[in-house]
Structure 1
């Protein structure tokens, strides 16, 4: 939601009684099985390693549902002590309005500039040289997850790339297996489109569109290929009717679906199901076409309270979230990679190792959240879900409307 100067001026920033020096209400949207196990590591660290108490403020429904609630709480004068956003431009207006705590002193004292890898994650928290958030993980959308059983039980080889996946789709359908599981929320469909754009149009064209806002590239032949593949994917998902992303992941876990295009947070669900990477499920970064990670992820922001005790507790929590032990504990269960370049995850599974290798090789791109405003992302979300749910809409029509969104993007 957009914030106006007039609205902010009329809103109380926060009262000293909104939070307590030892009770830290933390708002986030981590509610699936794997996410809950991961965020519990943060809560345990705060409860056991500080004098403060983590008060959980989970909001089901994902970021699109949670973010407006969080913003409303903040501008309404009843903020939480901390809240989760994605790295990028989601908090720009709150920062400009002076509603978020400056963490520069914590970042300098803890040496975040030396340990956060890649440095773009800290850059995404920095405005005018000041640090306003604590990055806690590296999450990448660039993954396709496959059920080994769905293929092997039907005499098929597990695909190694998008081409092989589409070629095997008809055989899966004949066996009663839906090739592709996709949830019913707009952010899932637009996120999947972004993965397909990098894999099928290439990194250069994706950057031209998302970083440079080049609408002519969005109208070009390579993006036409992406929109046609997206239309094909729509057909391949017929048979799985779910809303939440983890429900779609469960369809892969149970062998009802052959695959899902989803970020690496899906690994948390495989872990809860006690499945083994490389044996029970397979993973293809960049759809097996372009081995790359986009370095998005999650960060915590802390509203201004005006209360020195609360502020001290907030900064203590910010430092704790980036500590080596907490980074390992959280990311091991979340399916994400730690933002510290100096921690050892010791034994990791095959898929996490693929991600670490890509990160070490520098095969990374910024995330869309870092390059596009929330308004532009919302427009793209709306278009992709309309296209996904409207079989009569052609790939050509959707591509032109997308190009117009990029043309108007800031």
Structure 2
């Protein structure tokens, strides 16, 4: 009998051990902390834990992720990286060069990622031909969000050109309505500059200036016009914007304290959380002059080499989930973006989501699909940071001329 008991105990221990191997701690570094974003992250946590893994939340506040990237560097340098971290664009390649990313190509091949991802997205997720990151969405950056009631009050339509935009802004200002909401943070100022550049110069100029970093384009007459327009937009913002988070600027539009906001489609998540309806309470339109183009920003998670070999199971579970049709639908409905995975049923998406998906395909076909330099998709972090600085200086110093600012941006593009 004693031997039988010992055998049963041993079997129980083995069984527990097997269960322990199946469950994994998966520490995920992200910067989704606003209403719609936090809801989306919560959904991912629920799905991962449904697979028997344990989500360890490593959320670092800060809309554009600068704080999160600082935290990631500290952890990687100390030899203790998270299992996955929210990374984008060239930063994925830079971490790959450091030898700290792990391949998830086995998951990608099993689930056929190459067949369901547009090449422009898939290529960003690979390092030396192998997937090291999984995309969760495609954001459109060049949106203008408008409070529908504010437009009605001044009997105006959504502006499609810069002339129409400034005419509408004048009418709003006369009616005592703040025309434009913005937060005085470097990434918001840079994003606005990017959107103005696309609307004023078009996709070809944008690619030459902010993807190829062509010196003549950055110093030329089109760039001067971009900067003049950028400064004019500033004259319709409030003076109390310093340090304001993007979602608080969105709240100003939601609550009717301001009429319009230039912001990527993560703003839509805030409208959704507030119970507002697209096409009724608010309008989503391409920023002036940019209707035929599409600035994309892809959120993705890169996977890091870990000392704990058991964690690999959790990483692969997470990678598979991130690209699953179920998660891509649920997540993007919360986040305001559209699925990175192509060929999905978008019937649950509102008119903004459907319009974004249509415009993405059309821009890809026309060659007017461009990566967002302000959101880490086009240029190195060093160059991006240097241009951020100039955009902020020009925004905050009315004595700096557009010509001087253009020269400074051109010099910033040479940063190593």
TM superposition score normalised by structure 2: 0.89
Does residue 349 of structure 2 align to residue 365 of structure 1? no
Kept in 2, the 8 Å contact 1:181–1:260? The answer is: yes
Corresponding position of 1:102: 103
Residue-by-residue CA offset, 1:112-141 (whole Å, 9 max, x unaligned): 11111x221110121221221111110121
Residue-by-residue CA offset, 1:296-355 (whole Å, 9 max, x unaligned): 211101211133210121112111110111110001110111011122121321211210
Equivalent position SS for 1:24:
strand
Does residue 266 of structure 2 align to residue 265 of structure 1? yes
Corresponding position of 1:35: 37
Corresponding position of 1:146: 146
Kept in 2, the 8 Å contact 1:161–1:284? The answer is: no
Using the TM superposition, give the Cα deviation of residue 239 of structure 1 relative to its aligned residue in structure 2, in angstroms. 4.3
**26-35 or 71-80, which deviates more:** 71-80
Partner Cα distance (1:240, 1:28) in 2 = 29
Corresponding position of 2:7: none
Does residue 79 of structure 2 align to residue 72 of structure 1? no
Partner Cα distance (2:251, 2:274) in 1 = 9
Partner Cα distance (2:35, 2:240) in 1 = 20
Instruction: Please tell me whether Structure 1 or Structure 2 has the larger radius of gyration of its CA atoms.
Output: 2
Specify whether residues 109 and 217 from structure 1 end up closer, same or farther in structure 2 by C-alpha distance, changes over 3 A only. same
Kept in 2, the 8 Å contact 1:380–1:402? The answer is: yes
Corresponding position of 1:297: 298
Kept in 1, the 8 Å contact 2:386–2:415? The answer is: no
Partner Cα distance (2:344, 2:224) in 1 = 42
Does residue 329 of structure 2 align to residue 322 of structure 1? no
Corresponding position of 1:405: 412
Using the TM superposition, give the Cα deviation of residue 203 of structure 1 relative to its aligned residue in structure 2, in angstroms. 0.8
Equivalent position SS for 2:261:
strand
Partner Cα distance (2:239, 2:281) in 1 = 22
Using the TM superposition, give the Cα deviation of residue 21 of structure 1 relative to its aligned residue in structure 2, in angstroms. 5.1
Question: Structure 2: which 5+ runs fail to align?
Answer: 1-20
Specify whether residues 279 and 71 from structure 1 end up closer, same or farther in structure 2 by C-alpha distance, changes over 3 A only. same
- Spell out the pairing of 1:148-187 with structure 2 (5 A cutoff): 148-187=148-187
Equivalent position SS for 1:295:
strand
Partner Cα distance (1:354, 1:279) in 2 = 15
Partner Cα distance (1:394, 1:21) in 2 = 59
Moved over 4 A (4+): none
**99-108 or 359-368, which deviates more:** 359-368
- Spell out the pairing of 1:238-277 with structure 2 (5 A cutoff): 238-241=238-241, 243-277=244-278
Question: Structure 1: which 5+ runs fail to align?
Answer: 1-18
Using the TM superposition, give the Cα deviation of residue 84 of structure 1 relative to its aligned residue in structure 2, in angstroms. 0.7
Does residue 390 of structure 2 align to residue 389 of structure 1? no
Kept in 2, the 8 Å contact 1:162–1:289? The answer is: no
Corresponding position of 1:8: none
Using the TM superposition, give the Cα deviation of residue 190 of structure 1 relative to its aligned residue in structure 2, in angstroms. 0.5
Kept in 2, the 8 Å contact 1:104–1:130? The answer is: yes
Equivalent position SS for 2:139:
coil
Residue-by-residue CA offset, 1:193-248 (whole Å, 9 max, x unaligned): 11111111111111111232211011112111110001111111134525111011
Residue-by-residue CA offset, 1:366-389 (whole Å, 9 max, x unaligned): 332332000001001111111111
Partner Cα distance (1:288, 1:34) in 2 = 28
Equivalent position SS for 1:308:
coil
Partner Cα distance (2:205, 2:156) in 1 = 34
Residue-by-residue CA offset, 1:256-276 (whole Å, 9 max, x unaligned): 111111101100001011111
Using the TM superposition, give the Cα deviation of residue 281 of structure 1 relative to its aligned residue in structure 2, in angstroms. 0.9
Corresponding position of 1:10: none
